Amino acid sequence: MKDIKVKVLVVEDEESIRRFITLNLSAAGYLVGDTATGEEALVMLKTFVPKVVVLDLMLPGISGLEVCQKIRETMQETFVIMLTARGQDTDKILGLELGADDYMVKPFNPLELIARVKAVLRRGAGFRDPKEIFNCRDLCLNITASKFSKSNHEIELTPIEFALLRVFMENPGRTLKREEMLNTVWGDDYFGDTKTLDVHIRRLREKIEDNPSQPEYIKTVWGSGYRWQQES
């Protein structure tokens, strides 16, 4: 029986860049679909269901930010790697706020992109741990079922948010440094910075905290990282 190839969708309007990315991902063993517009991407997503989307933010018509938002609304298990130009810091942060998992700045080495794809897929595979359910006050994280609930109401988390919450609940009361969390969730070969982590923490707080501006669970340890508060 042949191995099923992981599907990757490349959304990039510049033909030379799109072809370059597609050829390298195909050579790395992925089943690659590609398109030049956000409109075409939204149509393709209905039939070509990818595990990873490599998404340029500056697209004609429907923007990459809008495509990212649509993906996150309906495809929680799909990873999004944004492509941005230098100097687009505001767009990077907005993309992460809308649910993108990672970003890369053009131009980039194709080997780095392949490493990023492998890294997000590793996150999706989860961590190997015998404990299946974590409870904290009104929160419940079910590892086996890949579900999270608050006060018995299920809340959808992205793969990154799920992985971050698991790291927190596995380490109650311990200060987790930003670099440590990046290595654990994104992998030792992650090329990005702590800004990505902080945005995902902010998104996670919005889902689990009653008042995200005054968090009861995820405490900030200034100058170091974050700590999970097990008891109220």
Which pLDDT score, from 0 to 100, does residue 231 have?
77
Grade residue 159 by pLDDT with cuts at 50, 70 and 90: confident
Q: Is the pLDDT of residue 57 over 50?
A: yes
CA–CA separation, 211 vs 180, rounded Å?
26
Mean confidence (pLDDT) of the chain: 87
Q: Is the pLDDT of residue 105 over 90?
A: no
Tokens read off for 12: 């990039």
Average pLDDT on 141-147 reads: 84
Phi-psi region of 68 (alpha: psi -120 to 50; beta: other; left: phi over 0): alpha
Q: How far lies 221's CA from each of 25, 90, 101, 146, 178, in Å?
A: 39, 25, 23, 28, 10
Q: Which of the residue ranges 121-135, 159-173, 178-192 has the most confident prediction, judged by mean pLDDT? A: 159-173
Give the containing element (helix H, strand E) for 8: strand 7-11
Q: What is the pLDDT of residues 205-216, one digit of tens each?
A: 999 999 999 999
Which pLDDT score, from 0 to 100, does residue 84 have?
86
Long-range contacts of 42-49 (CB under 8 A, 24+ apart): 42/67, 42/70, 44/9, 45/9, 45/70, 45/71, 45/75, 48/7, 48/9, 49/7, 49/75, 49/78
Which pLDDT score, from 0 to 100, does residue 189 have?
65
CA–CA separation, 50 vs 61, rounded Å?
22
Which pLDDT score, from 0 to 100, does residue 128 have?
44
Which pLDDT score, from 0 to 100, does residue 184 have?
85
Grade residue 127 by pLDDT with cuts at 50, 70 and 90: very low
Least confident of 131-145, 153-167, 194-208: 131-145
* Strand, coil or helix: 105: strand
Least confident of 96-100, 119-123, 185-189: 185-189
> For residue 70, how many C-alpha atoms fall within 13 Å in the half-sphere facing its CB?
16
Residue that wins the pLDDT comparison between 144 and 6: 6
For every residue of 13-34, DSSP letters joined together read SSHHHHHHHHHHHHHTT-EEEE
* Strand, coil or helix: 57: coil
Which alpha helices (DSSP H) does the chain contain, by range?
A: 15-27, 38-44, 64-74, 89-97, 110-125, 159-170, 178-181, 194-208
Average pLDDT on 1-9 reads: 75
Q: Is residue 163 within 8 Å of 190, Cβ to Cβ?
A: no
Q: What is the pLDDT of residues 75-86, one digit of tens each?
A: 878 999 999 886
